[in-house]
Amino acid sequence: MSKYAVQFQQGMSLQQFLSEFGNEDQCRRAVFCMRWPDGFCCPSCGHHSHCQLQSRPLIQCHRCHHQTSLTAGTVMAHTKLPLTQWFLAMYLLTQSKNGISAMELRRHLGVRYPTAWLLKQKLMQAMRERDDDTPLSGAVQVDDAFWGGERHGGKRGRGAAGKTPFIAAVACATDGRPLRMRMTPVKGFSSAAIEQWARTHLTTDSTVISDGLPCFRAIAAVCPHQALVTGGGPASVEIPEFNWVNTTLGNVKNALHGTYHAVRSRHLGRYLGAFAWRFNRRFNLERMVHRLAGAVCHTPPLPYRLATIAEIHG
Ligand SMILES: [Zn+2]
């Protein structure tokens, strides 16, 4: 699909969304089908026969009488929000190119700010985990990058204090078009951190091009790696081999600065993951809500404590 075809995609109209996910029953049916596409399976005993309780939104197994909710075991677990709110948030988060701030989400959903913030963190976690399940392959451009710190002066570039290091990687087709991207915070640009990243995010049949940063040699433990020494500076961004990874880095930084007041470094992985998730599915805007709902149904719970404090590097 050409760049223009991507930009002028119809997407999913609000009307289309509401006719599919406009009421609680529709959303419940959608979640049920996504969680158990081959029919219900009791999480306790594996039995298939079940009934829906009338008094509470629970499913009861006919054999062992175990009761489970539709959302138990998913990132929606213990939610007090109706599923229609979850689906509306998925719609708003996927249909705009740069995502939506928690403040905007709060207004659209009519909920408190902390509720909107946590809901969004959970959706972004689902996006990130779904992409992290599939390593990049083929010709991959890799670059080191930093988030934060730019606006407060001080030392610029690699190693500057107060910045969060992350790796940007773009897998390209044989004709050079970008296919999929991945952006991952790392503890630092050490050989050990880069090798661990490569083992998680690259297949062994990938071929990687990076600039001359020494730590990237560690990628060779996983797959072939070629270092192109660019010499740094503005001229290095003109090198065609780094075309897409540089474009992508520019886009993600603009998107995060433009949409969000501030992104804390400990949450950066989710914001980068959500941006990449949307990019990786840009050819099919219309199905994004379905695909995010599928990811949400298969992502384990994210307790508030973890949503607020933890950043898992790797
Ligand atoms: Zn059972």
CA–centroid distance, 120 to ligand 1, in Å, is 33
Q: How far is the CA of 42 from the centre of ligand 1 (A)?
A: 5
Task: Output the CA 48–ligand 1 centroid distance in Å.
Answer: 8
What pLDDT is attached to residue 148?
81
Q: How far is the CA of 43 from the centre of ligand 1 (A)?
A: 7
- Give distance in angstroms: CA of 49 to centre of ligand 1: 8
Look up the pTM and report it.
0.88
110-124, 153-167, 178-192, range with the lowest pLDDT: 153-167
DSSP secondary structure string for all residues of the chain: --HHHHHT-----HHHHHHHHSSHHHHHHHHHHHH-TTS---TTT----EEE-SSSSEEEETTT--EEETTTTSTTTT--S-HHHHHHHHHHHHHSTT---HHHHHHHHT--HHHHHHHHHHHHHHHHHHHHTS-B-SEEEEEEEEES-GGG-S--STT-TT-EEEEEEEEE-TTS-EEEEEEEE-S-S-HHHHHHHHHHHB-TT-EEEE-S-GGGGGGGGTS-EEE----SSGGGGG-GGGHHHHHHHHHHHHHHHHH-S---GGGHHHHHHHHHHHHHTGGGGGGHHHHHHHHHHTSPP--HHHHHH-----
pLDDT at 153 over 50: no
Q: Ligand 1 mean position to 53 CA, how many Å?
A: 15
Give residue 306 CA to ligand 1 midpoint distance, Å: 30
Question: What pLDDT is recorded for position 266?
Answer: 85
CA–CA separation, 178 and 189 (whole Å): 24
- Please tell me the distance between residue 303's alpha carbon and the centre of ligand 1 in angstroms: 26
pLDDT tens, position by position, 275-313: 999 999 998 889 999 999 999 999 999 877 777 765 544
What is the CA(70)–ligand 1 centre distance, in A?
Answer: 15
Distance 125 CA to ligand 1 centre (A): 30
In this prediction, residue 1 carries a pLDDT of 59
Question: Is a pLDDT exceeding 90 seen at residue 150?
Answer: no
Q: How far is the CA of 295 from the centre of ligand 1 (A)?
A: 25
Residue 201 has a pLDDT of: 97
CB atoms within 5 A of ion ligand 1 belong to 42, 44-45, 47, 61, 63-64, 66
Dist. CA 61 → ligand 1 center (Å): 5
The DSSP annotation for 256-284 comes to: HHHH-S---GGGHHHHHHHHHHHHHTGGG
Q: What are 14-61's pLDDT values in tens digits?
A: 999 999 999 999 999 999 999 999 999 998 999 999 998 887 779 999
| Segment 86-122, tens digit of pLDDT | 999 999 999 887 789 999 999 999 999 999 999 999 9
Q: Is pLDDT above 90 for 171? A: yes
